[in-house]
């Protein structure tokens, strides 16, 4: 069962979210947004860009501006925005966060990726 509700800024009908967040990712993104200390409503923007050793790279950053065709999901108060072009490539993906002795960071598991690079940020 998903903790998210997704809306298209331009359409009021419910759509399936392109990416879901694990509980750890929700907590960490919420902490990072709070640390920004701004009055703006910030969302985590997740997108796919051309590049990298396998053809595409994930890009994640905080954003306060949304386009009419962006998909906006809410995970317990943490907003995640995906542009319409990236949504198809991310559909069914999961963003997780881990903090281990080997390091801390976010990782995307994408069922649409046919090949990934050793860096974990590039896929095809």
CATH number at residue 116: 2.60.300.12
Report, as an integer, the average pLDDT of 76-96. Answer: 94
- pLDDT tens for 2-50 read 455 544 444 333 447 899 999 999 999 999 999 998 888 899 999 998 8
Q: Which domain holds residue 9?
A: 4-123
Work out how many domains the chain is built from and give that number: 1
Q: Name every residue whose Cβ is closer than 8 Å to that of residue 57 and which is 6 or more positions away in sequence.
A: 48, 49, 50, 51, 121, 122
- State the CB neighbour count (10 A cutoff) for residue 69: 13
Please tell me the predicted confidence (pLDDT) of residue 23.
97
- What sign for the dihedral angle of Cα 49, 87, 7, 79? negative
Give the dihedral of Cα atoms 89, 56, 33, 11; nearest 10 deg.
Answer: -30
The 10s digit of each residue's pLDDT in 46-82 is 999 887 555 788 899 999 999 999 999 999 999 999 9
What pTM, to 2 d.p., does this model score? 0.76
């Amino acid at each position: 069962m998903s903790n998210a509700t997704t809306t298209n800024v331009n359409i009021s009908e419910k759509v399936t979210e392109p990416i879901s967040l694990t509980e750890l990712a929700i907590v960490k993104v919420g902490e990072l947004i709070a640390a920004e200390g701004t009055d703006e409503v910030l969302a985590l923007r997740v997108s796919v860009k051309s590049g990298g050793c396998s053809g595409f790279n994930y890009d994640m950053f905080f954003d306060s501006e949304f386009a009419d065709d962006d998909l906006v999901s809410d995970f317990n108060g943490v907003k995640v925005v995906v542009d319409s072009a990236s949504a198809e490539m991310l559909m069914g993906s999961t963003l997780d966060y881990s903090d281990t002795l080997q390091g801390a960071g976010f990782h995307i598991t994408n069922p649409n990726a046919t090949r990934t690079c050793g860096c974990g940020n590039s896929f095809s």
